[in-house]
Amino acid sequence: MTTSPALPATPPLDDAAIDAVITWFDHAGRDLPWRHDGVTPWAVLVSEVMLQQTPVARVLPRWLEWMERWPEPAALAEAPTAEVLRAWDRLGYPRRALRLQECARAIVHEHGGEVPADLEALRALPGIGEYTAAAVTAFAHHERAVVVDTNIRRVLARAVTGAALPARSYSAAERTLATAVLPASRPRSVAWNQAVMELGALVCTARSPRCRSCPLAAHGCAWLAAGSPAPRPEQRRTQAFEGTDRQMRGQIMARLRGAQTVPVTELMTLDTQDPARVERCLASLLADGLARREGDLLRLP
């Protein structure tokens, strides 16, 4: 049996540092509709799924349209899958749309149409992992939860460990650090989660951090104190997209969203230099349930 690393005896960030970040968020945080008072847990869940690896600017119009069309899990659960994929449009990773619909169906069938508040019940929903379950617990149900996304990982890596960027893979040590930093009181923990995530998105960014505007600069940020060292080679991330299978899958999905059916022969023209790439991507879309083949025609499911 494995055990989690022991929490440090002294919190990695003191109360003054925590308060500084929360106060910064109170006047600098973005006015996003899924943060408004009275927004439903379902609306928060949808926003969290959409925001995975997708900028807020792209998510906002889609979220507004989605909530207008499917304001409750029951509405999405009953929607034709093809309409769901068309509404997802170019948010990226369209499997998330399928998982979100499966999640809506599970909420209807297993939870009476209400997004559960229990962390383990959230984790059991289709497509809901550790981060999303914790985020819904904190931001929808206002309960204490260890929320760790890319932005939070980066802030903690810099402020506490002095690293320019976190490791490529989320580790047990990072989970322990985030747990140690999280304030003990429920309201303050929710405020901290929201604030530190926003700090990473707006100030402590990956490429051009604005340290002069950072509330942690006056509270002993380890990275700033070390002279803001560059990322180590193993910390650097490459986000190549051009020529990838992901790009090809997106091109195929765009064709499918725009027509009832598309001939496979037409899709093969997307890469005449490497037809095997097209075939590989077609096969993966079929396997993921994102497309359906009928003879020589392809369509949305």
Q: What DSSP designation does 219 have?
A: G
CA distance 290 to 88: 12
What is the torsional sign of CA 95, 63, 79, 116? positive
Phi, psi (rounded to 5 degrees) for 293: -105, 135
Distance of alpha carbon 87 from its chain centroid, rounded?
18
* Closest alpha carbon to 50 in 93, 82, 113: 93
For residue 1 the two structure tokens come to 């049996």
Contact 60, 143 (CB under 8 A): no
Contact 135, 147 (CB under 8 A): yes
Known catalytic membership, residue 266: no
For residue 17 the two structure tokens come to 């540092």
Query: H-type helices in 182-228, by residue range?
Result: 186-202, 222-225
Q: HSE (CB half, 13 Å, CA atoms) of 60? A: 8
CA distance 118 to 44: 15
For residue 22 the two structure tokens come to 């929360």
Phi, psi (rounded to 5 degrees) for 33: -60, -30
Catalytic entry in 48, 83, 114, 120: 48
CA distance 193 to 204: 15
What H or E segment, with its residue span, contains residue 263? strand 262-263
For residue 301 the two structure tokens come to 């499911």
Q: Which are the catalytic amino acids?
A: 48
